[in-house]
Amino acid sequence: MAQRRRLAEIQLTGARGVIRRLLLGAIAACAVVGAIGYVLPAHRLGDAGTYHTNYDDGGGASLIVFGVVFASWLAIRNRRHGAGYLAGVISSVGAILAVLPVLLVHLFSTVEHAIGEHLYASGVLGLFFLGLVTLVAEPVLYFGQRRQLERDVDPQFPSARVV
């Protein structure tokens, strides 16, 4: 009986490859949207204040986090199995790190939101949840691809089709 293919040797094809590319691309897009929302006028405190950005409150740390998430996408987008795990962890942890400086500044304040806040929140929530989805999707896609290859090419495996 032949050995099973290693997941690192498998190339995703068809719908599985498209799904993975879309997930990783959506993570990068959310990082860009979050960074744009971070520097746009986002909110004001009460009715009397002027609108200001999240950058004014949290400084450059969140922009660095968004940059790291985007740079990691550039570095791992064409890698095989395992890169999705890394992208998922970086994305979800990055979302938490990007929101902490702003959250801590306005935790118990009454805030009136503007467009920047909505873009920022969309980017951060997208990063967090897409990161989690990517963590789950990575093994599902690769195990499914390996099973299909075994069925189609290696008839000695128990999961092979009976013709």
Among 14-23, 101-110, 112-121, the minimum mean pLDDT is found in 101-110
What is the rounded average pLDDT of the residues 120-137?
94
What is the rounded average pLDDT of the residues 145-155?
76
CATH 3.40.630.30 given to domain 12-21+31-151: no
Identify the band that residue 163 occupies on the pLDDT scale cut at 50, 70 and 90. Answer: very low
Residues 43-60 pLDDT 10s: 777 666 788 888 887 888
pTM, 2 dp: 0.82
Report residue 65 CA to chain centroid gap. 12
Identify the band that residue 159 occupies on the pLDDT scale cut at 50, 70 and 90. Answer: low
Please say whether the beta carbons of 53 and 40 come within 8 A: yes
Q: In whole numbers, what is the pLDDT of the chain averaged over residues?
A: 84
**Domain layout of the chain by residue ranges:** 12-21+31-151
Query: Around Cβ 161, how many Cβ atoms within 10 Å?
Result: 8
Residues 63-93 pLDDT 10s: 999 999 999 988 988 888 878 899 999 999 9
Rounded to whole angstroms, how far apart are CA atoms 130 and 4? 30
Which one, of 160, 121, 153, 143, lies nearest residue 7 by Cα? 143
pLDDT greater at residue 31 or residue 158: 31
158: its two tokens: 């128990």
What is the rounded average pLDDT of the residues 118-128?
93
Identify the band that residue 108 occupies on the pLDDT scale cut at 50, 70 and 90. Answer: low
